[in-house]
Amino acid sequence: MKDHVTFLLLLGVVALGTIALPAETNALNTVSSGRFDLHLTRSAPYATPAEAGRRLGLKPSGRPYALAAEKFQVIVPGNFSTNVTWGLLVWISPGDVPGIPVNWEAEMAKQHLLFVGAYKAGNQRDAVERARLALEAAFNLRQLYKIDPNRVYVAGFSGGGRVAGMVGMGYPDVFTGTICVCGVGFYTDIPTPTGQHWPRTFNPDAGLLARAKENRRFVLLTGDQDINREIIHEIWRNGFEREGFRHVRYLEVPGLKHALPSAEIMGEALRFVGVEKTP
């Protein structure tokens, strides 16, 4: 009877939109579905400032954050069940709100994906901090749900897409797929059609980069009217392809401006990164 009351209380808190539980509990596996906010307390061992800086080749900002004070949004699709394992989409937003379009949720349900994204982790925040928050989210959600480690993806829009690309190349042992929407960076200078160069944005660990090139899957998604279309195209051609990434897709959407794509297009990108289970 006591366990039954506890379960009902948990569902009531989720219905109100905010829940704060220790990351080491498995109570969230009882939640049926919905969008809710979550505070995390267990820090990922690979998300320290020093380790993130080493893997990405970037100097940490030196501004420590208290993980328990950060807030994350979680989306559990309506067909959630504890009887099967789920994939996980970790989202990096260019702004303060991590939310994705409501009409993406049907596609996530179809592909059995949970969603998590940090609040206030936009372009105004240091890139290493944003990367670390994505890592904290992935680590904690894997403690709370039955997550297939071969289906953990990182994605983001605009400036969030640039950070997602860095994380995907620097953490191939955490993320098996990366989707960069209307924004991506690279670790070499990229020549422009006018003979100049776009400068590199990070310098990932060579051993981890080799693994990302061989086994991890990347989608560079843009629109033919996106303000970043030219640089994304050149990073695909003179970056990913030239550097020997084995599984990368350039996806250019007709009519899309600098905006999130439709659920159908995002579903196509998700199917590409999830097509293989790589070691």
CATH number at residue 139: 3.40.50.1820
Q: What is the pLDDT of residue 195?
A: 84
Q: What percent of the chain has pLDDT over 70?
A: 86
- 173 inside domain: yes
Mean pLDDT for 61-76 is 89
pLDDT at 33: 76
Answer yes or no: are the C-beta atoms of 74 and 114 closer than 8 Å.
Answer: yes
Please report whether residue 279 resides in a domain. no
52 found inside a domain: yes
Average pLDDT over residues 59-76: 88
> What distances in angstroms separate CA 117 from CA 54, 64, 95, one per listed residue?
23, 19, 11
What pLDDT does residue 60 have? 75
Residue 3 lies in a domain: no
**Of all helices (H) and strands (E), which one includes residue 170?**
helix 159-170
Q: Which class for 48: exposed (0-12), middle (13-18), buried (19 or more C-beta within 10 A)?
A: middle
The residue type of 37 is D
Domain that holds residue 205: 12-273
Confidence bin at 62 (pLDDT 50/70/90): low
2 domain-assigned: no
pLDDT band, residue 18 (cuts 50/70/90): very low
Q: Is residue 1 part of a domain?
A: no
The one-letter amino acid at 234: E
Q: What is the pLDDT of residue 1?
A: 39
Average pLDDT over residues 183-201: 93
Non-local (6+) Cβ contacts of 239 within 8 A are: 186, 188, 190
Q: Give domain status of residue 40, yes or no.
A: yes
Total domains, the chain: 1
The answer as to whether 278 is a domain residue is no
